[in-house]
Structure 1
Amino acid sequence: MYIIGNLSLYLGIGIAFYSIILYVWGLKNKNNKMINSARGGVLSLVLLSSIATFLLLYNLGTSQFQYKYVAAYTSENLPLVYKLTAFWAGNAGSLLLWLFLLCLYTGFLVFSKEKRNPMMPYVSIIMLLNILFFFIVIVISGNPFEMTETIPADGKGLNPMLQHPGMILHPVTLYLGYVGLAVPFSFAIAALILKRMDAEWIKLTRRWTLVAWVFLTLGNIIGGWWAYLELGWGGYWAWDPVENASFLPWLTVSAFLHSVMIQERKGMLKTWNISLVIISYLLTLFGTFLVRSGVLTSVHAFGDGNLGAYFLIFMVFMIVLSLYVVLTRYQLIKKETNPIESYFSKESSFLLNNLILVGGAFAVLWGSMYPLISEALTGTKVNVGPPYFEKVMAPILLGLIVLMGICPLIAWQKATFERFIKSALWPLIAGVISAIILVAIGIKGSFAIVGLASTVFMFASHLKEFYDGIRARRKATKESVAMATCKLLVKNQRRYGGYIVHIGIAVIAIGVISSHAYVKDTLQTVSVGEKVEIGDYQLTFNGLTEHSKNGNGIVVAALETSYKGKSVGTINAEKIFYETWPEPATEVAIKTNWKEDLYVVLSSWESKDKATFQVKVNPFVSWIWFGGMLMVFGTAIALIGGKTTTSRVYKMGIQHKKAGV
């Protein structure tokens, strides 16, 4: 195993270097045999990374403690599923996962139906540079097949916070998003090298970018869900630097997905699109640097200074490469075929949407990096916490919500105010009525009320688009409502898939605003038989019990729960003591319904008859997870669509303009 594992890594370095050289030589000499041989090298890299991945999974699953990585992250009594997910618990395994996914993406690209496209060899070279870097870094500083000097009787075990279903899904989805962004980056650089600044590279990468974006979305949503259930502080997003690092590329890719529509229709915003793709890719490297450098304090960080230095060097290399290619092709990039005809148009709203998203990304980046900047300039490290991010991002995200409500109602090219008001009338009425209702029922907090009303406006504007489309189709075809809805989605997947994504964001926004503005919280110490009252809930403490499971000691606090005077059962808040870990883990007791979560944490206890509990009532938190599912569903629909070629869409736009449409 040791020999095969290390051999697969060392051979990977050689074959990646070999493939790059053959691609370059084949392009220079126009030798298809060399290019085909390089393509075969990519297939070999997929095989080698698969072998290394399988061997590490086997070592983890069978407790081969002679390997340092296995001994550091697993133990005999660890359930098999968490032995396997320890694959990405540490630096070495997570780097191998990244490499494996990168090789898979590259293999799919090289052997896709576009393999004969002139851009593909250049794309492959850029992807192979990433692969070569990861092979080298793994061998030098993160080898998962490194042996121990003496074989321990048992391993150290897995961090209790990582023994959760979120550990199975969150890192993998996030890495699929991170790695996926290398694809549009590679196509963008290849298009620049070949001086092909039409929208072909966008057509070729649209699905790849959507896949990366949806995995980033899933990674962030699952990460929030995991934190909410596991960390025991009652929240789902702490604006931690590493959380921010995964949010940054999501913001910039979201901007890119909107602005590409303008380039597809009119050949505009080329500079924006190239810049956003490059920035998004570089932000994935930046996030990885943060995780592995130890320069910022984070519960998610691996904190390996050597790896951070390697990633910094590679990031600088890619920045220099990108700048060189962009600057040498800038005259070509800045040629726009059609200017924006009116400031009051869908094109302008998309551009404003981009500015808001990029502005939000800059605000998050600045807040994340300010502690380092302040320490470098003044010698004092100033911590930037959630208050900064919430104060800065709240108005930015509110502006984004309002713009998302306006954009579907504005016409392309040039809109009229009268027509817009006519289209926006019912959504505006819905927003105003919702604000009035919130005030009438005693809801306080002006910013929260404005935010919720704006979200209702955005939600209503998208429902109106569905209603108008279904009504027009039924009028033309006499179909039933169900059939018209299905046909509308089938014929316009990209448009209505995007609308479903926006509706998902509206649902998430309601959950985020409500859970921040209207949370109820109490910390109480009670004896057996005494009650904790919060909102409409009463919790009666029934005492503590102790038992063991898989060698771990568990302290359980039972609380008889009633809602508005009616019993809703018993919930159990727990502390788990692991033999291989110094700190106990918290198991939160949660009772969920559609409008709120009862969230109970066992904080401490003096005896079996007296304990302290932190109890929260978090409104509409479940809407966040449901909204995330809607976003994934909408993206899936959009991925199915888009069969019309870019060139056809672009020509249609030119024809419409000539016709005066």
Structure 2
Amino acid sequence: MHVIGNITIYLAFFLSIYAFIVYIFGINKQDQRFIDSGKGATMGIFILASLSMVLMFVLLGTSQFQFEYVAHYTSSDLPLIYKLAALWAGNAGSLLLWTFFLTMYSAMVTFSKKMKRNPMTPYITSILLLNIMFFYLILSFVTQPFAILENTPVEGRGLNPMLQDPGMVFHPVTLYLGYVGLAVPFAFAIASLIVKNMDAFWIQMTRRWTIIAWAFLTLGNVIGGYWAYTELGWGGYWAWDPVENASFMPWLTVTAYLHSVMIQERKNMLKIWNLSLIILSYALTLFGTFLVRSGVLTSVHAFGETNLGAYFLVFMAFMVILSMYLLMSRYQLIKKDTGQFEAYVSKESSFLINNLILLGGTFAVFWGTVFPLVSEAVRGTKVTVGVPFFNTVMSPILLSLLFLMAICPLIAWQRASFKNIKDNFLIPALISVAVAIVIVVMGVQEAYPVLGFTIITFMILTHLVEFIRGTRARRHVTKEAIPVALFRLMIRSRRRYGGYIVHLGIALIAFGIVGANFDVERMETLAVGETLTIGDYTLTYEQLGQRSDGVNESVFARLAIEKHGRDLGYIYPERIFYLNWEEPSTEVAVRSTLREDLYVVLSGWEEDRRATFQVKINPLVKWIWIGSFVLVLGAVFAIWGGRYGQVNPRYTGPERNVY
């Protein structure tokens, strides 16, 4: 098994080198035979990557402790699902997963029907092969997933208890699908620069790929937040941890890109901007991987200090320098026939301002993340940038984005008139102001939540107006029933209305985020029978017990819940002691409603059964998870069954012996 596993890695590495070389020969000589050989090699790499994955799953699932990776991250008592999920618990396994997704995407692009006779396919696949070669170089010579131990241990070390959660099954996979997915539009962009094809072809061909990658990035971040909320026991879902920031930054830049490409398609503008955004997004995925694997910053998500960071830093620098060289060398060609803004108050301008704010947010998060490194290099001491900095900087950015999202659907292209603004925004604005007055009357005095809820209301109303107007216009022509007219309206404009659904999802997420301004927290030590009051809740500590869960032991507390004198049942926070781990794991007890979450953590206990509880009331948190579902639903709706890539590239190249 050791030999077979290593053969799949080494053979795929040399096959990726071969595929890259024959593609270059095929491009230079315009010879179909080389191109076909490269395509075959690309499929062969994917098959070998699949075999490596299957083999690794078998080793993990059957507890083959003679393999270093299996012994380090699993144990015989570990449930099968977590044995398999341990594949992405460490460096070697997670990089194998990354490489598998990269080869999968490469094969899908290469053998796509739309790319079958596309003269740019060899260029695109060559760029992807550069990435594949790098990752196989790492797997072959730096961190080997199939390395074996000199002495086989009787038992493995087991999986970190914090990773024994359903979030471990889904969070890394979705995040990697998003990270790796961005390599596809990047490859298209670089290929377009190489062949000097400066029209919107590469954007139209990669729109679906980009939305899919963005949707997976979104899912990865949300699942990670929910995992942290329910597992770590600190009461929050986003701590502005360096690795969290590393996945958030490309999400911001891709969001900006998805908006700005609409300007290029419609107005032939922002060509350099869009190329720069996709290059930046791709570079940030490599930067995030560098942070996770270098150990330069402390993070609960990091893999620990390794020498992998240097390799990723060099590769990232190489790819960025190559990209910027191509971009600058084609600068005059890109600028040719570029459209111009016609007015400051227009949909185009709102999209551009949206991009600038998103990039400002990206820079703020980047600076807050790397500042400890900068301070250590300059002053010799590492200064930590905490949550207050990020919250202070990002709060106005969030509100600004929400306001722009409220304006974008209804503002006119080219030039918005005063009449257009009054007709579209007067009623939503008046209702939003009324909501603000009601909020203040109800006792909310803080400026941020009042402004936040007002803008969110304004945003939701402007989007509803767009749905209503579209449905009304269709009914006027077709005489269809309202539900039928709405459904067919959305189906005929999937991209547009899918985007609106995404915006509504973001509004719901923002609603939950603003609710954090009203959270309440208490920590108190209680004897059995004593009560704790927090907000409208009264919790009575009734029992401290212990039970066995396989080879693990759990200590749990039972607390009765009352609200306004009404019995709401029981809640059971607990701590789990794992056989192969020194520190117990926290299992949070959460009673969740649309209004608020009652969040209880068992922090500690004494021999006399006195127990210490951390109790929080987190208002509106559930809307974050609901909004995330709506957001992803909108992304899926936007790409499902739509017509994408129905274009031909302007570049054709020499026709001799090519496809």
Q: TM-score range by the shorter chain?
A: over 0.9
Give distance in 1, aligned partners of 2:621 and 2:23.
Answer: 51
1:654 aligned residue: none
Shift in Å at residue 470 of structure 1? Answer: 1.0
- Residue 413 of structure 1 aligns to a residue in which SS? coil
- Residue 66 of structure 2 aligns to a residue in which SS? coil
Give distance in 1, aligned partners of 2:208 and 2:335.
Answer: 25
On the 8 A contact 1:428/1:457 being kept in 2, the answer is yes
Give distance in 1, aligned partners of 2:212 and 2:399.
Answer: 26
Give distance in 1, aligned partners of 2:258 and 2:61.
Answer: 40
* 1:254-309 per-position Cα deviation (integer Å, ceiling 9, x unaligned): 00000000111121100110000000000000000000000001000112431111
Report the residue type matching 2:102 in the other structure: L
TM-score by length of 2: 0.97
On the 8 A contact 1:353/1:400 being kept in 2, the answer is yes
- The count of aligned residue pairs is 648
1:65 aligned residue: 65
On the 8 A contact 1:109/1:115 being kept in 2, the answer is no
Report the residue type matching 1:216 in the other structure: L
1:119 aligned residue: 120
Give distance in 1, aligned partners of 2:641 and 2:464.
Answer: 20
On the 8 A contact 2:499/2:635 being kept in 1, the answer is yes
On the 8 A contact 1:544/1:608 being kept in 2, the answer is no
Shift in Å at residue 430 of structure 1? Answer: 2.3
1:520 aligned residue: 520
Give distance in 1, aligned partners of 2:641 and 2:80.
Answer: 40
The range that moved more, 297-306 or 209-218, is 297-306
Distance 1:513 1:589, change over 3 A: same
- Residue 159 of structure 2 aligns to a residue in which SS? coil
1:467 aligned residue: 468
On the 8 A contact 2:208/2:644 being kept in 1, the answer is no
Give distance in 2, aligned partners of 1:289 and 1:210.
Answer: 24
1:337 aligned residue: 338
1:454 aligned residue: 455
Q: How does 1:155-234 map to 2 (within 5 A)?
A: 155-234=156-235
Structure 1 residue ranges without an equivalent (≥5)? 651-661
Distance 1:188 1:572, change over 3 A: same
Report the residue type matching 1:204 in the other structure: M
* 1:568-624 per-position Cα deviation (integer Å, ceiling 9, x unaligned): 111101001111111110000111111111000001111353101000010110100
Report the residue type matching 1:379 in the other structure: G
Shift in Å at residue 541 of structure 1? Answer: 0.3
1:398 aligned residue: 399
Report the residue type matching 2:241 in the other structure: D
* 1:237-266 per-position Cα deviation (integer Å, ceiling 9, x unaligned): 000000000000000000000000011112
Give distance in 2, aligned partners of 1:150 and 1:430.
Answer: 72
On the 8 A contact 1:492/1:641 being kept in 2, the answer is no
Give distance in 1, aligned partners of 2:166 and 2:564.
Answer: 33
1:86 aligned residue: 86
Give distance in 2, aligned partners of 1:2 and 1:336.
Answer: 58
2:8 aligned residue: 8
Give distance in 2, aligned partners of 1:130 and 1:465.
Answer: 43
Give distance in 2, aligned partners of 1:208 and 1:645.
Answer: 11
Distance 1:542 1:644, change over 3 A: closer
* 1:29-85 per-position Cα deviation (integer Å, ceiling 9, x unaligned): 111011000000000001000010001100000000000100001011111000000
- Residue 197 of structure 1 aligns to a residue in which SS? coil
Shift in Å at residue 646 of structure 1? Answer: 7.3
Q: How does 1:95-106 map to 2 (within 5 A)?
A: 95-106=95-106
Report the residue type matching 1:104 in the other structure: M
On the 8 A contact 1:269/1:336 being kept in 2, the answer is no
Shift in Å at residue 136 of structure 1? Answer: 0.8
Give distance in 1, aligned partners of 2:488 and 2:605.
Answer: 60
Q: How does 1:340-379 map to 2 (within 5 A)?
A: 340-379=341-380
- Residue 607 of structure 1 aligns to a residue in which SS? coil
On the 8 A contact 1:181/1:281 being kept in 2, the answer is yes
**Superposed CA RMSD:** 1.2
- Residue 573 of structure 2 aligns to a residue in which SS? strand
TM-score by length of 1: 0.97
Distance 1:647 1:19, change over 3 A: closer
1:41 aligned residue: 41
The range that moved more, 483-492 or 297-306, is 297-306
Q: Which has the higher contact order (CA 8 A, sep 6+)?
A: 2
The range that moved more, 257-266 or 634-643, is 634-643
Q: Which runs of 4+ in 1 moved over 3 A?
A: 644-648
On the 8 A contact 1:435/1:450 being kept in 2, the answer is yes
1:429 aligned residue: 430
- Residue 408 of structure 1 aligns to a residue in which SS? coil
The range that moved more, 639-648 or 195-204, is 639-648
- Residue 602 of structure 1 aligns to a residue in which SS? strand
Give distance in 2, aligned partners of 1:474 and 1:565.
Answer: 51
Structure 2 residue ranges without an equivalent (≥5)? 651-659
- Residue 278 of structure 1 aligns to a residue in which SS? helix
On the 8 A contact 1:264/1:646 being kept in 2, the answer is no
The range that moved more, 296-305 or 125-134, is 296-305
Shift in Å at residue 647 of structure 1? Answer: 6.4
Report the residue type matching 2:498 in the other structure: G
The reply to whether residue 282 of structure 1 matches residue 283 of structure 2 is yes
Shift in Å at residue 417 of structure 1? Answer: 2.1
On the 8 A contact 1:270/1:336 being kept in 2, the answer is no
Q: How does 1:266-305 map to 2 (within 5 A)?
A: 266-305=267-306
Shift in Å at residue 99 of structure 1? Answer: 0.2
- Residue 522 of structure 1 aligns to a residue in which SS? strand
Give distance in 2, aligned partners of 1:53 and 1:167.
Answer: 17
Report the residue type matching 2:643 in the other structure: K
1:537 aligned residue: 537
How many percent of aligned residue pairs carry the same amino acid? 56
1:557 aligned residue: 557
2:245 aligned residue: 244
- Residue 235 of structure 2 aligns to a residue in which SS? coil
2:656 aligned residue: none
Give distance in 2, aligned partners of 1:645 and 1:56.
Answer: 36
Give distance in 1, aligned partners of 2:156 and 2:550.
Answer: 15
The reply to whether residue 110 of structure 1 matches residue 106 of structure 2 is no
Shift in Å at residue 457 of structure 1? Answer: 0.5
Shift in Å at residue 634 of structure 1? Answer: 0.5
2:607 aligned residue: 607
Shift in Å at residue 484 of structure 1? Answer: 0.9
* 1:521-569 per-position Cα deviation (integer Å, ceiling 9, x unaligned): 1111111111111111111101211111121111010101112211111
Shift in Å at residue 444 of structure 1? Answer: 3.0
Give distance in 2, aligned partners of 1:304 and 1:93.
Answer: 16
1:657 aligned residue: none
On the 8 A contact 2:204/2:644 being kept in 1, the answer is no
Give distance in 1, aligned partners of 2:195 and 2:23.
Answer: 15
Report the residue type matching 1:179 in the other structure: V
* 1:111-153 per-position Cα deviation (integer Å, ceiling 9, x unaligned): 0011221111011001001001111101112211100111111
Report the residue type matching 2:72 in the other structure: A
Q: How does 1:608-627 map to 2 (within 5 A)?
A: 609-627=609-627
- Residue 307 of structure 2 aligns to a residue in which SS? helix
Give distance in 2, aligned partners of 1:548 and 1:406.
Answer: 57
Shift in Å at residue 625 of structure 1? Answer: 0.5
Give distance in 2, aligned partners of 1:427 and 1:236.
Answer: 32
Shift in Å at residue 335 of structure 1? Answer: 2.6
- Residue 157 of structure 2 aligns to a residue in which SS? coil
Give distance in 2, aligned partners of 1:303 and 1:153.
Answer: 25
On the 8 A contact 2:296/2:305 being kept in 1, the answer is no
Report the residue type matching 2:526 in the other structure: V
1:659 aligned residue: none
Give distance in 1, aligned partners of 2:510 and 2:110.
Answer: 40
Report the residue type matching 1:406 in the other structure: I
Give distance in 1, aligned partners of 2:232 and 2:245.
Answer: 18
On the 8 A contact 1:199/1:646 being kept in 2, the answer is no
Report the residue type matching 1:148 in the other structure: L
Give distance in 2, aligned partners of 1:204 and 1:592.
Answer: 43
On the 8 A contact 1:536/1:563 being kept in 2, the answer is yes
* 1:355-408 per-position Cα deviation (integer Å, ceiling 9, x unaligned): 000110001000000000011111111100111100111111111111111111
- Residue 148 of structure 1 aligns to a residue in which SS? coil
On the 8 A contact 1:200/1:646 being kept in 2, the answer is no
